[in-house]
Amino acid sequence: MFDQISDRFNSLLQDLRGLGKITDKNIEDTSREIRRILLEADVNINVTKNFVQRVKDRSIGTKVIKSVKPGEQFIKIIHDELVKLFGDHNSDLNITNRNCNVLLLAGLQGSGKTTTSVKLANKIINQGKSVMLVAADIYRPGAVKQLNVLAQKINVPVFESTANDPIKICTDALEQAKESKIDCLILDTAGRLHVDGEMMLEIQQISDSISPKETLFIADGMTGQDAVNSAKAFNEALEITGIILTKMDGDARGGAAVSISSVINKPIKFIGISENIDGLTIFDPKRMADRILGLGDVVGLVQKAEKIVNESEAKIMQEKILKNQFNLEDFKDQLFQIQKMGNINEIMNMIPGIPGKIKNKTNMDDRQIVWTEAIINSMTVKERKNPQIINGSRRSRIASGSGRSVREVNQLLKQFTEMQKMMKKFGKMKTPKLGVRSFFG
């Protein structure tokens, strides 16, 4: 997701960090580079222009302020503007009505409406609320079946009808949902082109007759600039309350989809990150901006870690680090914990301050953790506690014991020594230096 844009911003930020002063020239250069990055990511031209202008205006404004870290001030401006571009704050579903909240899903064919309606149903039942889905796509053969198959997986009822009028289907469904005291009714509508007047009228009539609490525009994340125009038309026809970007797990540039929010001035509420039913995440503009700028996703990382690491273990580890007693045995434990957290590259992306270039170069294989463990397992306890004693002949014995090469053993020992050095420094510091993050609070 946004890999290209993120890599480019990362290298720009590296340059900015070193800035001793904000000058007209570096404002100009940075603006030009931001413009290039956004356009290459397929961000809408007007959105790009506004973005660059705002960054420019604000940085000219800060030129006069004597800052300790001018580069970071610049970075903060870019960060703020990215958050704004994404709609400022994260907005959850508005489903607080006591009697039946209706969610209407609209969008082009194949944008992911049916899949998303079931993903949403899943989220809502996990909050302890009841849901009914409505099969309102009577045009595409197989559409009703597709919804049923998906809904069955999470045991959510589907309202079907032999009526060949989607408006009637939806109003009947609402009546039944109210009778059965269902909390949320999700309408999976047919895909339609914004230029198809008849179909646009139909969805307006559905909307008028059931007054949805949420009208969500489902946009394909792999889409190009056409989607921006279609979003505008849908927004004129309906009271869109939010956007869901699907297929954000793909390697598309993503810029067009992201522009939609800014163009129609509506928040992105969720993003689809896999075909699976649990592949829907709340969209948080700040976290997304952090990720794009390579500032990591600390919140996500902590949430992941919290599920795995227990607090007392973490405390013991921290003390060892501070007392400089962290050895290869502990390192192995840590690897094991990381492994439990999931895919290593995903985790790397969440760690702040690792430049994109390094991430790409590393492109770590999950098996690497297993290999590293195998190497450590082939060491004696004494060696693990005191890796300095591992000489040449011991290295080749460890290599043959673990089935890895001597080069890999050397590499691991070197990495570990580097890490120990870093930890030593860290341990000596009274207040850890947090760099950019401290700036953002």
Ligand X SMILES: Nc1nc2c(ncn2[C@@H]2O[C@H](COP(=O)(O)OP(=O)(O)O)[C@@H](O)[C@H]2O)c(=O)[nH]1
Q: Contact residues for ligand X (CB under 6 A)?
A: 107, 109-115, 191, 246-247, 249, 272-275, 279
Residue closer to Mg ion by CB (options 95, 190) is 190
114 near Mg ion (CB under 5 A): yes
Q: Cα(188)–Cα(165) distance, rounded to whole angstroms?
A: 14
Residue closer to ligand X by CB (options 27, 288) is 288
- For the bound state, the minimum distance from the C-beta of residue 345 to ligand X, rounded and expressed in Å, comes to 17
Annotate 395-423 with b (16+ C-beta within 10 A) or e (fewer).
bebbbeebebeeebbeebbeebeeebeeb
115 near Mg ion (CB under 5 A): no
246 binds, among Mg ion, ligand X, none (CB under 5 to 8 A by kind): ligand X
- For the bound state, the minimum distance from the C-beta of residue 265 to Mg ion, rounded and expressed in Å, comes to 27
- For the bound state, the minimum distance from the C-beta of residue 105 to ligand X, rounded and expressed in Å, comes to 8
- For the bound state, the minimum distance from the C-beta of residue 120 to ligand X, rounded and expressed in Å, comes to 12
Q: Which part of the chain contacts Mg ion (CB under 5 A), choosing from 18-26, 109-117, 157-165, 365-373?
A: 109-117
By DSSP bridging, strand 268-272 and strand 280-282 are antiparallel
All residues at 6 or more sequence positions from 411 whose CB lies less than 8 Å from its CB, including other chains = none
Helix (H/G/I), strand (E/B), else coil: 51: helix
- For the bound state, the minimum distance from the C-beta of residue 256 to Mg ion, rounded and expressed in Å, comes to 21
Residue closer to Mg ion by CB (options 144, 350) is 144
| Helices and strands in the chain: count of H runs, count of E runs | 21, 8
Helix (H/G/I), strand (E/B), else coil: 103: strand
- For the bound state, the minimum distance from the C-beta of residue 237 to Mg ion, rounded and expressed in Å, comes to 19
44 near Mg ion (CB under 5 A): no
From 220, 240, 222, 226, select the one nearest 87 (Cα to Cα): 240
Residue with tokens 């409505």: 134
Q: Within 13 A of 422's CA, how many CA atoms are on the CB side?
A: 7
111 binds, among ligand X, Mg ion, none (CB under 5 to 8 A by kind): ligand X
Q: Cα(200)–Cα(235) distance, rounded to whole angstroms?
A: 11
Q: Which part of the chain contacts Mg ion (CB under 5 A), choosing from 28-36, 52-60, 108-116, 294-302?
A: 108-116
116 near Mg ion (CB under 5 A): no
Using Cβ positions, the residue closest to Mg ion within the complex turns out to be: 114
Site residues, Mg ion (CB under 5 A): 113-114
